[in-house]
Amino acid sequence: MPLLPHVVQRLTHLGLQAEPKGREVVVTCDEVTTRLRLEDGAEEAFETYRRARRSVYDTTDWSYTHNASVEVPLTRLDPDVYRDTDDTVFTDDRGNTVTIHRATQHYMFAHFDSSDYERYLSAIVRTRLTRLQVKYARSMNILFRNPVCATYLATGRRAPANLKTIALERIRSCLTKLAIERHACYEVLRPRPSRPVARLDSLVESDWRIPRSNYEPNLVNYYKVARSSPFPSQSFLAYYHVMEYYFLRVTEDALHHQLRTYLNRPDFKTHTDGLDKVIALIRRHGSTDDETDMLRKVLQRFIAEDDFIAHVKSLEVQVGEKLYSARRTVFGEPLQVSLQEGHALSNAAKALKHIRNAIVHSSDRYKRDECHIPLTESEDTIGEFIPLVKYFAEQVIYGTATPPAA
């Protein structure tokens, strides 16, 4: 079947109205009609795709194997623009190549035909078809996924049986070389589990009033870094730093109250016994405060526990599962936030400190499941706890705000 009727058939199967008209397809989506024109060379590329000896799109990792090549989507990690405009090609002595380029038409067709396309249609294509209505024909490429990709092409009469394994190894090596030499950082894009956690941080309607408070600039800087980072692990650390900023201040404030109480007693004397008791009080304070305890004290200073419990219950209702209050193993440690007063903040402090340790400790003394490796599945695990650490960071920012100058 040629490309044009194939597109019409596929879109109709997915619930859109589509019909051919010359070299165009007329698509109606949510009562918006759009004309889509074929790009030059698309029909020839589709014929090559259709006749391939080996053509496999893997929905588990979004890779596409076409004869002796493997193509995988990439995501850009650094904010700088890579100024080499042509495709970047790496070669070896055997003639095998790794190319960084925009997705091939074969990749776009394979994704269009895959079961993953229905999700992509709902998330991306419907918006493209309905956000503006024009009289001219638009490119049919708006139907297709077109990421930056890396393709490994093996030479030889027969592709090796472990072609994908070899391809991913070669591609990752080339991405490392590209990052070191050209300062362009890409990573192989992978599907993320479909979980409703992302909905927990939707936009809030603003009244656009000037706040009646001044916020601590250093805390706001940490918060903005957390908000803008594309990596859940780095966002988590930046939010955590908002609480950590007050570790010493809060714990020393407690010591000040204890010392003030003792030193202001009418029977206090500055003899040896009296001074020894003061020294012992200070030493005992220094030996008992570990970071988890300091985090707990910060949370107790700025957060009302009943409000936190209500917040967690609301989050779990939105997610549809007991994401925090049920016991689960995270980075080798069973964690649970008990939704009972006297326990909730302490449990939360323990959980957040444990995740923080998993992020910052990469020593080989830790087992693989006890520490976080960037750009792996553990980013998703950390992302599930972002709503908690973000909530705490916001409460600390509010609790340390000051009135504006008169």
Closest to 66 in 3D by CA, of 151, 178, 191, 174 = 151
Alpha carbon of residue 89 to chain centroid: 29
pLDDT surpassing 60 at residue 256: no
pLDDT surpassing 60 at residue 287: no
pLDDT tens column, 14-30: 999 999 998 899 999 98
Q: Which two tokens stand for residue 342?
A: 């006297």
Q: What's the mean pLDDT in 195-213?
A: 82
Provide the pLDDT for residue 367: 62
Angle at which helices 291-302 and 386-399 cross, to 10°: 60
Q: What's the mean pLDDT in 215-233?
A: 94
Residue 199 in contact with residue 318, Cβ under 8 Å? Answer: yes
Provide the pLDDT for residue 119: 93
pLDDT surpassing 70 at residue 308: yes
Radius of gyration of the chain (CA): 29
Residue 393 in contact with residue 348, Cβ under 8 Å? Answer: no
* Residue extents of the structural domains in the chain: 3-188, 203-399
Q: How far apart are CA 354 and CA 348, in angstroms?
A: 10
Q: What's the mean pLDDT in 63-84?
A: 84
pLDDT surpassing 90 at residue 267: no
Q: Which two tokens stand for residue 104?
A: 């091939």
User: Which pLDDT band holds residue 333 (cuts at 50, 70, 90)?
Assistant: very high
Provide the pLDDT for residue 131: 85
pLDDT surpassing 60 at residue 83: no
User: Which pLDDT band holds residue 274 (cuts at 50, 70, 90)?
Assistant: low
Q: What's the mean pLDDT in 287-309?
A: 87
Provide the pLDDT for residue 262: 58
Provide the pLDDT for residue 368: 59
Provide the pLDDT for residue 36: 94
Element (H, E) at 40: none
SS3 of residue 274 by DSSP: helix
Beta-carbon neighbour count of residue 231 at 10 Å? 14
User: Which pLDDT band holds residue 105 (cuts at 50, 70, 90)?
Assistant: very high
Provide the pLDDT for residue 285: 63
SS3 of residue 81 by DSSP: coil
Angle at which helices 305-319 and 386-399 cross, to 10°: 150
Element (H, E) at 99: strand 97-102
